[in-house]
A and B are shown apart, each in its own frame.
Chain A
Amino acid sequence: MSDEHAADIDRHVRTYILVFFSLMLLTVITVAANFLLHLSVAGTIALALFIASVKGSLVACYFMHLISERKLIYWVLGFTVINFFGMLLIPLLTESDKIHY
C-alpha cells in the first residue's frame, strides 16, 4: 500500500468518525426537541423530518460514498428520487381532492 493511499484512507476514517458523532448529536437533538420544544404538530413534523434528512444525507454522502460517486449512479438515484416524491405526492393530491357525500 502506497503512503498516498494510506493517507487517503486515514482521511476517510477521520471523516467517518466525525460523521458518527454528528449523527449521535442529531439523534439527541431530535428526541430532546420533541419533548422540550412545545411546537405545533406541523412544526414538530417539519423539524423532525428536517433533522432526519440531514442525518440521511450524511449517511448517504459519506458512509455510502455518494459524494464521490460516478455519474451513472447519480442518474439512477435522480430518477428514483423523482418517482419517490411523485409517489408521496399522490396521496396528498388525493386528499386535497376529496369527494364529499
Chain B
Amino acid sequence: MEMEIPYTVHARPDTGLTNGKIGIWLFLASEVMLFGALFATYIILRVGAPTWPRGHDILNVPMATFNTIVLISSSVTMVMAWASLMRKQFGRFRLFMGSTVLLGGVFLVVKYFEYSAKFHHHLFPSTSTFLAIYFTLTGLHMLHVMGGMVVNAYFWGPGAKLWKTDPVHFAARVEHSGLFWHFVDLVWIFLFPVLYLL
C-alpha cells in the first residue's frame, strides 16, 4: 500500500506552512550555525594573531569579484526559474534552471583556477593561519555549491517528470531548492569581503 506524505502541497493548519518549507528553513538555520562557528573561528584567529595579512595581498580579488557576480546572477536565474513555474511556462523554467546549474559550474571552474594558482605558488592550508581558514571556509562553501548544483540538475532533468503529474508539488520542491541556493549566495556575499578585502 502506498502512503502519501502529508502536507507537501497544502499548508498544515497549525503552522500555516508545508512540511517541506519548515524543513528547509530548519536545515538552513543549522547551516547558519555551521558557518557561524567558522566565522567565530576566523574572528578568534584574527584578533589573536600578532599580524594578519590583507586578503587582497594574497588572494585574487578580480577573480573573486567575477565569482560574486556569477553567484548573484545564478540567484536571479534560480528565482526566475521558480517564477516561470508559477506562470506555467515550463520551457522558460528549463532555460533558467539550466542557466543556474551552468553558472554554478562557472563558479567552480573559477575557484579551480584560483586554488591551482595558490598551490602553484606553494600556498597551502598549512602555510599560514590565514590560508588555513581561507581554504576551510571557501572549501566548505564550494561543497555547498556542488550540493546545490546536484539538486538543481536533478530538477532540471529527471526530477522534472513530477511537473506533468503534480505541478504544484514540483514548484514547491523548486522553491525549496531555491532557498538553499540563495543561502549559498548569501554566505558568499559575506565570505567575499571578509576573506578578500579585509
B72 at the interface (CB under 8 A from A): yes
| B40 near A27: Cβ-Cβ < 8 Å | no
Q: Which residues of A contact B140 (CB under 8 A)?
A: none
| B17 near A95: Cβ-Cβ < 8 Å | no
Q: Which residues of A contact B21 (CB under 8 A)?
A: 73
A88 at the interface (CB under 8 A from B): yes
Q: How large is the interface on A (under 10, 10 to 19, 20 to 34, 35 or more residues)?
A: 35 or more
Number of interface residues of B (CB under 8 A): 48
Closest chain B residue to A73, Cβ basis: B25
| B186 near A59: Cβ-Cβ < 8 Å | yes
Interface residues of B (CB under 8 A from A): 15-17, 21-22, 25-26, 29, 32-33, 36-37, 39-41, 43-44, 47-48, 56, 61, 65, 68-69, 72-73, 75-76, 78-80, 83, 86-88, 178-179, 182-183, 185-186, 189-190, 192-194, 197-198
Complex Cα distance, B80 from A44, in Å, reads 34
Query: How many Cβ-Cβ contacts under 8 Å join chain A to chain B?
Result: 123
| A9 near B16: Cβ-Cβ < 8 Å | no
Closest chain A residue to B73, Cβ basis: A20
- Which 4 pairs from chain A and chain B are nearest by CB? A91-B44, A48-B193, A80-B29, A84-B36
> Which of A27, A59, A76 lies in contact with B68, CB distance below 8 A?
A27
Q: Which residues of A contact B76 (CB under 8 A)?
A: 16-17, 19-20, 63
Complex Cα distance, B29 from A90, in Å, reads 19
Q: Which residues of B contact A5 (CB under 8 A)?
A: 86
> Which of B15, B41, B44 lies in contact with A72, CB distance below 8 A?
B15
| A77 near B29: Cβ-Cβ < 8 Å | yes
Complex Cα distance, B191 from A44, in Å, reads 15
CB distance from B38 to the nearest CB of A (A): 10
> Which of B44, B83, B192 lies in contact with A16, CB distance below 8 A?
B83
CB distance from A40 to the nearest CB of B (A): 12
| A52 near B189: Cβ-Cβ < 8 Å | yes
> Which of A48, A60, A84 lies in contact with B186, CB distance below 8 A?
A60
> Which of B25, B65, B78 lies in contact with A27, CB distance below 8 A?
B65
Q: A19-B76, A49-B190, A63-B75 are in contact. List 8 more A-B contacts (CB 8 A).
A: A6-B87, A31-B65, A44-B197, A52-B192, A56-B186, A76-B25, A77-B29, A84-B36
Complex Cα distance, B156 from A76, in Å, reads 30
